[in-house]
Amino acid sequence: MMRKEDLFEIIVHAKTLEEYVEACAKYIRNPLWIMDVAYRILARSFKPSSTPFIRDFEDGKTMERVDRWVSSGLLEKVSGNRKPVRLHDSLFDKDVVIMDIFSGNNSIGKLTIVEQEPVTDDEVIHISEAAEIYLRMQSRTSGSTLEQGLALLLQDTPESESTGRKILESAGYTGKPPYHIIKADTSVKDRSALLSAFLVDIKNMDPMLLCGVISNQCYILTSEGHDVPQKHLRKDIRLGVSLPFDCLHLLKAYAVQADVAIRNGSGSVEYFRDYYNAYMRECLSRDIKDTSPFIIPEIREILRYDKEYKTDYFKTLDIYVHNMCSKQNTADKMGIHLNTVKYRVSQLEKVFDIDFGKPDEIFISIFAFKEAEKQQAGID
């Protein structure tokens, strides 16, 4: 039986959370471990060893484990409960005790003990209460520096953008365009545990995927060669995906795209491209002055192609849509043969995937490009 005097002696001699967990495990002769609120393993015992019981966490299966807990109702029993919760783990045929670790009224971690020797509720409570001391003293949130950089980029000011980029660079972030910003739906009840586990798996899988919960909103920044794998796109979590973009200082505007996609769709993964008109209304209401995010990828590819090969596809497209898609009027305006216009329009459809069935996004993209050029030139 662990007495408070024994626990006090452990606290005095254990300088770190790891030392504390190891000492407690030896005293009660049971494997134990402590996780943070995002279900990352912060400390585990080696004598007795907890390794077999938490191997799946370290193998990047955090979300699968938490998903099982949610389905079984375990998290509902544990979360916010100031008393130990006992259950039988059928996978290992062991009795397990789980308890939240509190700081004031807030849960700041979770204690898990595998019962190989009897342990009382009071012992579990004492271990949990003492663990709070260590959790408050040490910050072990993986990726906190990268999350800080991401948060600054989302503030959408020149100062925050510059600081955010410097923070990411100093933290070793080397992501290259094209980028996508993905937003996860945080409004669904009882999904916070799955969302936390989802982010843990993402970070463990690829540290170049920047993600975090910022102002109660969940974001993931992808870059070239670093995407969220299909196996992680689950029905439990809804995601909105922005258009691709090249400049991180535009992150805030593209985050709005991801948000619009979530709010206007109901699928597990929603792409902004399907909600272009809703985005235009959103930008007007939010007074987003930079027009660059309005430009669809197809228009950007045409501009790139024209610049590289000295062609006039963008000019042709511009005049064509402004003349109600009349090939003859376009030929007259440009002073070129009608067959040339027909060929270019055909190429715009076949090579550049321009969909003339969506004239609004084409027209707005053309307008946005012209406005962006004016802004770059300093013209009002």
Residues in contact with 197: Cβ distance below 8 Å, sequence separation at least 6, in sequence order: 38, 39, 62, 63, 65, 66, 67
- Whose tokens are 């550049």? That residue is 352
Is there a contact between 297 and 310 (Cβ–Cβ < 8 Å)? no
Rounded to 10°, the helix 62-72/51-58 angle is 110
**What is residue 372's predicted lDDT score, i.e. its pLDDT?**
77
**What is residue 36's predicted lDDT score, i.e. its pLDDT?**
84
Go through the chain and tell me how many residues it has: 380
pLDDT tens, residue by residue, 2-21: 777 888 899 989 989 999 99
User: Per-residue pLDDT averaged across 145-174, rounded?
Assistant: 82
Structure tokens at 49: 């060893």
Task: Please tell me the CATH code under which domain 4-137 is placed.
Answer: 3.30.450.40
**What is residue 190's predicted lDDT score, i.e. its pLDDT?**
67
**What is residue 142's predicted lDDT score, i.e. its pLDDT?**
43
User: Does the predicted model carry a pTM greater than 0.95?
Assistant: no
**What is residue 140's predicted lDDT score, i.e. its pLDDT?**
44
Is there a contact between 101 and 94 (Cβ–Cβ < 8 Å)? no
Residues in contact with 71: Cβ distance below 8 Å, sequence separation at least 6, in sequence order: none
**What is residue 189's predicted lDDT score, i.e. its pLDDT?**
72
Which range, 116-120, 211-215, 361-365, has the best average confidence (pLDDT)? 116-120
Structure tokens at 45: 């015992």
Where in the chain are the domains?
4-137, 144-290, 297-377
How many C-beta atoms lie closer than 10 Å to residue 229's C-beta? 11
Which range, 53-57, 74-78, 126-130, 145-149, has the best average confidence (pLDDT)? 126-130
pLDDT tens, residue by residue, 272-295: 888 877 776 666 655 556 677 778
Confidence of residue 258 (pLDDT cuts 50, 70, 90): very high
Question: Alpha helices, DSSP H only, in the chain?
Answer: 4-13, 17-28, 51-58, 62-72, 74-78, 121-137, 144-153, 158-170, 192-205, 251-264, 276-286, 297-309, 313-322, 327-334, 338-350, 359-377
pLDDT tens, residue by residue, 190-210: 677 788 888 888 888 888 999
**What is residue 141's predicted lDDT score, i.e. its pLDDT?**
42
Confidence check: pLDDT of 356 > 50: yes
User: Per-residue pLDDT averaged across 217-226, rounded?
Assistant: 93
pLDDT tens, residue by residue, 57-80: 877 778 777 877 777 777 778 877
